[in-house]
Amino acid sequence: MSRRLGIYVQVPFCQTKCTYCNFHTGVVSAARFAPYVDAVCAEIAGRREFYADAGVEIPEALAGAVVDSVYIGGGTPSLLDPAHLRRMIEVIGENFVTDFREVTLEADPETITAEKAAAWRAAGIGRISFGVQSFCDEELKAAGRMHRREDVYRAVPLLREAGIESISFDLIAGLPGQTRESWRESLEQLAELRPEHVSIYLLEVDEGSRLGSEILRGGLRYSAARVPTEDEMAEFYETACEFLERAGFHHYEISNWARPGFESRHNLKYWRREPYLGFGAGAHSFSGKQRWANAHDAAAYVAAIGTGRLPVEQLEAVTRESALEEELFLGLRKLDGIDVAQIERQYGVAIEPRFERLMSAGLVEREGSWVRLAPSKLSVANEVFVELMK
Ligand code: SF4
């Protein structure tokens, strides 16, 4: 069977900057969208030369791989003209062997119109990943989001009418002003709209966002004082686990739930260490042998591609040791866990002893040769990963 490959396209543009956002995205004039799309298409079409020039080696087994998943993320790629999105998908089709099983577009609710939804569907997009974040307008406002609850209610029927068969909602636990009650309310409204897939993220507190930086250093501008505590966030996560299970969702990865058959084919590649190629500014790639990322700055990326050079910022060979570590901390993100016997065979090392202490502390559990995070300990998964890497 041919090797499967995922393609990620990064569109690093947004309408405004959300206060909690730590991604490399920018608010730019719409006049910059078309040159950016041209650069991405040029990167896809000229990838062999670009890679050779940048020191990226594509393993033989990947040369004829079949692209079965495409994920257009951001940023807010739904801001682009649908014709731009269609062109990028067509260029992928012209330059790879394809058997598209899942083509996802990240979209913000306020950017959706009936015309756009129909054009997306006609371009082959069958899955929309929706940045809902909360159904509470106060929380959306405090986080600097452009949309409100009613935009989500307006957009979902438009997507369904256009024939989008899979909708995923993102929620964030930890927004300023969020309470036990408002979190529950968001979960209930989410269930009412019947998405096929749900992702729940905990607010990340770091210097990379304005809110994160205010939490760390103090200040009054971004409502840092109204951010729930870590314990409250963990409680929200646990409430979501119970709620979503009762609502018929299968919890398949720490942050992801799906109705049966709607697990994200593309994102599963990340946790299974399957290959993917990323195109666009800041896009990451993994060939099985190397990992690399393109330069984050969109203008620098467009300029470099224009001069026939791919600006690769981080290119590293995946050593046997790092591959093994990835097997553990990426694999354990899946609720099924990892097959310890299979990994031991593949890498020729004993990893069983690494789990002994975690097992006696009740943090992981075992079934046959499989080890997984204990379902009641998912909110402390990071502690398990730290312990495992010691
Ligand atoms: S829409 Fe997403 S990528 Fe854009 S600023 Fe907000 S969180 Fe960041």
Which residue has the least CA distance to atom 8 on ligand 1?
A: 21
The C-alpha atoms of residue 247 and residue 264 are separated, in whole angstroms, by: 19
Residues 339, 340, 343, 347, Cα dihedral to 10°: 180
Q: Residue 12: CB within 6 Å of ligand 1?
A: no
d(CA 81, CA 78): 8
In the prediction, which pLDDT does 1 show? 60
3-state secondary structure the chain: CCCEEEEEEEECECCCCCCCCCCCCECCCHHHHHHHHHHHHHHHHCHHHHHHHHCCCCCHHHHCCEEEEEEEEECCHHHCCHHHHHHHHHHHHHHCEEEEEEEEEEECHHHCCHHHHHHHHHCCCCEEEEEEECCCHHHHHHCCCCCCHHHHHHHHHHHHHCCCCEEEEEEEECCCCCCHHHHHHHHHHHHHCCCCEEEEEECCCCCCCHHHHHHHHCCCCCCHHHCCCHHHHHHHHHHHHHHHHHCCCEEEECCEEECCCCCCHHHHHHHHCCCEEEECCCCEEECCCEEEEECCCHHHHHHHHHCCCCCEEEEEECCHHHHHHHHHHHHCCECCCEEHHHHHHHHCCCCHHHHHHHHHCCCEEEECCEEEECHHHHHHHHHHHHHHCC
Residue 25 C-alpha from the chain's centroid: 15
Does position 2 have pLDDT exceeding 80, yes or no? no
Q: Is residue 390 pLDDT above 90, yes or no?
A: no
Percent of the chain with pLDDT over 70: 100
The rounded mean pLDDT for the chain is 95
pLDDT confidence of 327, banded at 50, 70, 90?
Answer: very high
What span, in angstroms and rounded, lies between the C-alpha atoms of 26 and 14?
6
The alpha carbon of 222 is separated from its chain's Cα centroid by a whole number of angstroms, namely 25
What is the C-alpha separation between 177 and 149, in angstroms, rounded? 16
Q: Whose CA is nearest to atom 6 of ligand 1?
A: 18
**pLDDT digit string (tens) for 144-198?**
999 999 999 999 999 999 999 999 999 999 999 999 999 999 999 999 999 999 9
Please write the tens of the pLDDT for every residue from 211-242: 899 999 988 898 998 999 999 999 999 999 99
Q: What is the average per-residue pLDDT within 58-70?
A: 93
Interval between CA 14 and ligand 1 midpoint (Å): 6
Question: Quick check: CB of 331 below 6 Å from ligand 1?
Answer: no
Question: How high is the pLDDT of residue 389?
Answer: 80
Q: Ligand 1 in contact with 21 (CB < 6 A)?
A: yes
Each residue of 72-128: pLDDT tens digit? 999 999 999 999 999 999 999 999 999 999 999 999 999 999 999 999 999 999 999
Q: Does ligand 1 lie within 6 Å of residue 140's CB atom?
A: no
Using CA atoms, how far apart are residues 175 and 133, in angstroms rounded to an integer?
A: 9
Task: Report whether residue 76 contacts ligand 1, using a CB cutoff of 6 Å.
Answer: yes
Phi, psi of 8 (to 5 degrees): -110, 135
